[in-house]
Structure 1
């Protein structure tokens, strides 16, 4: 692991794999940095940089001090610290909440390009009734932390239903340790529920927006809306791929990213 620190005292811990143009990988949701392990081997020719999101893993000390209104701004500043520490403008590749962070960072920092896989942005009609954060908080207050995380998994990872959630969780690498992050996930979800996609995003860099046909319908809708709000973007939809696309089909997605970066 490597670290860098901003003048404001923000410390970023990250892994670096390979050589080439820097490609920062931003994980989402409750996924750990290990989420990117299937992806990194397919990014030959790039220096894959994998930071640990603040509040998840190595930076747990500040999570109780950060409100829902501050979560996204905190993460953007965290990524900007890493961007500023690099010798050349990096490419940002974010998944879900990491994709939202990548796009927001690119409105404030100079980056070479952005790749956003199903950014965690809610369509207006869906957001109006979104109450996942409240439902999770109610369960946490009742001492039911595992049930709170299960609600997150059901709504975000399996919105179309799952036959045996407990069996799926038994195979999930971060279960049950991830229940320690329940409060942080509540704050993250509140930030998503409050975020409103502007009609135009001030991102000068080219952006590749990715989505899959087997992912949640509201995220596919948001991917298209994000594409429309960007001045320089390309939208690609992968047939038969879910919200876990980068880890599920890393070879296909990495090939699309490489083609985009070579022709931008």
Structure 2
């Protein structure tokens, strides 16, 4: 484990695996271990760098949090990397990747269902407040279950407890409840600009079974970018990089190496 110091003095930890050009993997509401199943698929060709979001894993923390602070943390890790990196983010990590690339030199950006809220859904979004209400009532587990239902399933799932029983991060992810509530505050405060200026190609990924509000968001991000392509995976949900790692990694690898993508483009 290595560490860097972010702009506000907070220590940010990051893992490093393999050798080659730097590839930075940014996790979402789960822990850095989210990426563990796919690291071996990348580590033969890249130096895989996995930052621990502040307040998670081995990273330090501070009283205040914002999206800008998260970008500063990612930038500190990039500054420590040997070479210009590719950024690959999932969910909130996808939003961090996009926002970091607006102000930092990167080779390419990949974002799987970045946590961007648009339209009427954004105007009424109160996931953070509803999580906090449950936390204040001492119901941390219920707060996390509410979050998972909304973000993984669009609020519609018949047997959440049965699904959670088969989901590897459960119940350890309950330890991240307060951290997840605060990143959702940052997500709800973010407003997608009409134009996203990124001086690097961007690949946006989604699954046909992903939550509708994030699929709306990814189409809006695609429209705001001048150099992007959008690919969707049939039958895959919000956990795409670990649900269908071979398909996702094949598409990501082709994009990084500027080969033809092995699946049809377009996000319907």
Q: TM-score, normalised by structure 1?
A: 0.92
**Alpha-carbon separation, structure 1, partners of 2:133 and 2:50:** 33
**Shift of the alpha carbon at 1:246?**
0.4
Matches within 5 A, 1:186-225: 186-225=181-220
**Shift of the alpha carbon at 1:8?**
5.6
**Shift of the alpha carbon at 1:186?**
1.5
**Alpha-carbon separation, structure 1, partners of 2:8 and 2:175:** 28
**Alpha-carbon separation, structure 2, partners of 1:9 and 1:121:** 28
Residues 165 and 22 from structure 1, CA distance in 2 versus in 1: closer, same or farther, beyond 3 angstroms? same
**Alpha-carbon separation, structure 2, partners of 1:76 and 1:220:** 23
**Alpha-carbon separation, structure 2, partners of 1:57 and 1:4:** 14
**Alpha-carbon separation, structure 1, partners of 2:6 and 2:132:** 33
The match for 2:223 among 223, 228, 251 is 228
**Alpha-carbon separation, structure 2, partners of 1:119 and 1:216:** 11
Q: Deviations over 1:87-117 (max 9, x none)?
A: 2110000000000000000011111110011
Show the counterpart of 2:37. Answer: 38
Show the counterpart of 2:54. Answer: 54
Question: Which structure 2 segments of 5+ residues have no match?
Answer: 260-268
Secondary structure (helix, strand or coil) at the match of 1:263 reads: coil
Q: 2:124 matched to 1:129?
A: yes
State whether residues 92 and 113 of structure 1, in contact with CA within 8 Å, keep that contact through their aligned partners in structure 2: yes
Matches within 5 A, 1:31-110: 31-43=30-42, 44-59=44-59, 61-62=61-62, 65-66=63-64, 70-110=65-105
**Shift of the alpha carbon at 1:226?**
0.6
Show the counterpart of 2:15. Answer: 15
Secondary structure (helix, strand or coil) at the match of 2:219 reads: helix
**Alpha-carbon separation, structure 2, partners of 1:7 and 1:101:** 16
State whether residues 3 and 14 of structure 1, in contact with CA within 8 Å, keep that contact through their aligned partners in structure 2: yes
**Alpha-carbon separation, structure 2, partners of 1:60 and 1:184:** 12
Q: Deviations over 1:202-245 (max 9, x none)?
A: 21111111111111111111111111111211111111111100
Show the counterpart of 1:119. Answer: 114
The match for 1:159 among 132, 154, 166 is 154
Question: Which structure 1 segments of 5+ residues have no match?
Answer: none
**Alpha-carbon separation, structure 2, partners of 1:253 and 1:178:** 24
Q: TM-score, normalised by structure 2?
A: 0.90
Q: 2:152 matched to 1:173?
A: no
**Alpha-carbon separation, structure 1, partners of 2:8 and 2:147:** 33
CA-based RMSD of the aligned residues comes to 1.7
Matches within 5 A, 1:244-259: 244-259=239-254
Residues 80 and 61 from structure 1, CA distance in 2 versus in 1: closer, same or farther, beyond 3 angstroms? closer
Show the counterpart of 2:265. Answer: none
**Alpha-carbon separation, structure 2, partners of 1:128 and 1:78:** 28
**Shift of the alpha carbon at 1:178?**
2.8
